[in-house]
Structure 1
């Protein structure tokens, strides 16, 4: 039997059902409007539901905090434009509402003619994977410090001291585990928190910038657009519209 014939006989449903055999994996499939078409049982329960029918054709806005939903949907759009997310380390909420380390991969989904029809992805909770978590431990202290003190100036030297490393060793570990420098990570944490304030409050954009550690609103807007694809004022218009 040829490979193509075999795959057709097996069927997509049987193949994706294999993700239910892996308890620490969240797997999902979305259409081009970021609506859920499939999720394994762990993904469904992570959202607080029991069956696929309860989340079918819903988007992240139906079960995630608004600022996080914007992040997920924006990721979907970028993936469909050619951006590939592979083993990205990120802090996110567990199904118990606690912050934990996750590794996420997302890819575009195409039909047999090559037309983009959606996205699919997997997320793994690293707390259940001791080897992966041991790697993250190497930068856990400076990462937690950044997330707690992003609103003020943070020197690389103080982060290195927290991690009991030299500055060069700290930078190497950030590059290895997060694929970015400490300064890049600080900037992204500030921008993530700025987006949350833009979504959840009516604070002026300039005030959001200052509260998140940016001295110049113009620089803040430039960095925000680079990471999220729109300037802060445009995001506000989308929310209010």
Structure 2
């Protein structure tokens, strides 16, 4: 079948059928937003995650109705980037679980296009990191290094040390991380450190250079650069916008 015929066939498909497929994916939260950051659709897992009973309780609302202000602002900054044509792929981030605890999630987002090719909103999926990994046959191969990173991110350690923890060679460790988390061990370490830095910038009064030190960054300029790449603003800007006085 030619591409032209494929496209003609797809135009006959009711889009609701495709969207509803996301209800069949356990542990995957799926949503669609308009260009004003309002939810226009979400799958059942997302509805349950927000602890509401019906889709109608989500449609028309924004992240500010479901998340702490500093988290909602980060989501909206992401949305602005997506609407400008950028994308987010398998980014590690902290979110809230149904029990109110913090947990690690892996998130991807894309622009939503009209039939004429105009960007009219955004859509995305997020998966609970541990649940995602547990669903994969090789979870035990990365559980040990993932747990080690989460417990020791504030210390200095090499990829070789991490491989030893997992009883793998460095190359095998890197292959496992790419296969199951779609990122290298170094990328995962950096993102864990940066998420913890974001928490400290909000919850503590220690100065920014100390924040970098406490989460494992020995170079302040590198810490600031990586923070900006992940969150879209410098640590000083983030603290100014989101710090909770103690």
User: TM-score scaled by structure 1?
Assistant: 0.79
| Distance of aligned partners of 1:137 and 1:95 in 2 relative to their CA distance in 1, 3 Å threshold | farther
Distance in 2 between residues matched to 1:166 and 1:173, nearest whole Å: 11
Distance in 1 between residues matched to 2:18 and 2:203, nearest whole Å: 40
Aligned to 1:191: 194
Select which of 210, 214, 224 maps to 2:217: 214
Select which of 36, 47, 50 maps to 1:47: 50
Select which of 228, 232, 235 maps to 2:235: 232
**Runs of at least 5 residues in structure 2 that lack an aligned partner in the other structure:** 1-7
Distance in 2 between residues matched to 1:201 and 1:31, nearest whole Å: 35
Distance in 1 between residues matched to 2:146 and 2:22, nearest whole Å: 31
1:57 Cα shift? 2.8
1:136 aligns with 2:139: yes
| Distance of aligned partners of 1:149 and 1:117 in 2 relative to their CA distance in 1, 3 Å threshold | same
Aligned to 1:6: 12
Contact 1:126/1:132 (8 A) holds in 2: no
User: TM-score scaled by structure 2?
Assistant: 0.78
Number of equivalenced pairs: 236
| Distance of aligned partners of 1:136 and 1:23 in 2 relative to their CA distance in 1, 3 Å threshold | closer
| Distance of aligned partners of 1:38 and 1:200 in 2 relative to their CA distance in 1, 3 Å threshold | farther
1:101 Cα shift? 7.2
1:103 Cα shift? 5.5
Spell out, residue by residue over 1:141-179, the C-alpha distance to the aligned partner (whole angstroms, 9 max, x if none).
111111111111122222112101122322232233333
RMSD of aligned residue pairs (Cα, Å): 3.2
Please say which of residues 186-195 and 100-109 is displaced more in the overlay: 100-109
After superposition, where does 1:1-241 map in structure 2 within 5 Å?
A: 3=9, 6-7=12-13, 10=14, 12-13=15-16, 15-66=18-69, 68-86=71-89, 94-96=97-99, 104-124=107-127, 132-239=135-242
Distance in 1 between residues matched to 2:50 and 2:119, nearest whole Å: 26
| Distance of aligned partners of 1:92 and 1:112 in 2 relative to their CA distance in 1, 3 Å threshold | same
Distance in 2 between residues matched to 1:162 and 1:14, nearest whole Å: 45
